[in-house]
Amino acid sequence: MDDVGRDVENLMKKLLKQNSNYFSNGSLNSEGRKIFEEMARMLVYEKPYLKKRIREIRKKGTFEDVLKLAEDILPQEELIKIAKGWYTGPYTESPDIDDSLLNSYLFSPVDRSTGRMPSSSK
C-alpha cells in the first residue's frame, strides 16, 4: 500500500462505495470518469511512477482495473469494509460475512470476470 493523500483515498472510496452510480456495464461512466480524473490528477502528482498505469486505466476504465489500483493505495481493512458494504448494503451491518473470504477474493490472483483461480500450466 502506498501512502497517498486523504483526497485521493476519499475519491477512490467514493468510486468503490457508490459503484452503481459510477460504473456502467463494468466500465467507468461519464460521472465516474470525472471523479477518476480528479483522483488520477492528484495521484500522478503525488506518485509520478503510477502515470503509465493511470493512462492504461483511462483507456479501459474497467472496474477490475480501478479495484487493482485501489488495492495498492487503500489500506486492506478499508477495502474489506467497502466490500462488506457491497453485500450488506448501506443500512445493515452483517457479522456473518467472513473476512477471510473477502480477503481471499480481494487479494488473491482470482480472475474477477469468471470468479475462478487462473489455471496453472503443469
Q: What is the pLDDT of residue 122?
A: 43
How far apart are alpha carbons 77 and 80 in whole angstroms?
5
The residue behind cell 468510486 is 15
User: Is residue 94 pLDDT above 90, yes or no?
Assistant: no
Q: What is the pLDDT of residue 57?
A: 94
User: Which of 86, 1, 70 lies closest to 35, judged by CA?
Assistant: 70
CB atoms within 10 A of CB 33: 15
- Give residue 97's pLDDT band: very low, low, confident or very high (50, 70, 90): low
How is residue 3 written as a grid cell?
Answer: 501512502
- Calculate the average pLDDT of the chain: 81
User: For the residues 20-37, what does the mean pLDDT come to?
Assistant: 93
Residue-range domain boundaries for the chain: 6-106
Q: What is the pLDDT of residue 85?
A: 79
User: 74 exposed, middle or buried (CB, 10 Å; 0-12, 13-18, 19+)?
Assistant: buried
Rounded to an integer, what is the distance from CA 89 to the centroid of its chain?
Answer: 17
How is residue 76 written as a grid cell?
Answer: 486492506
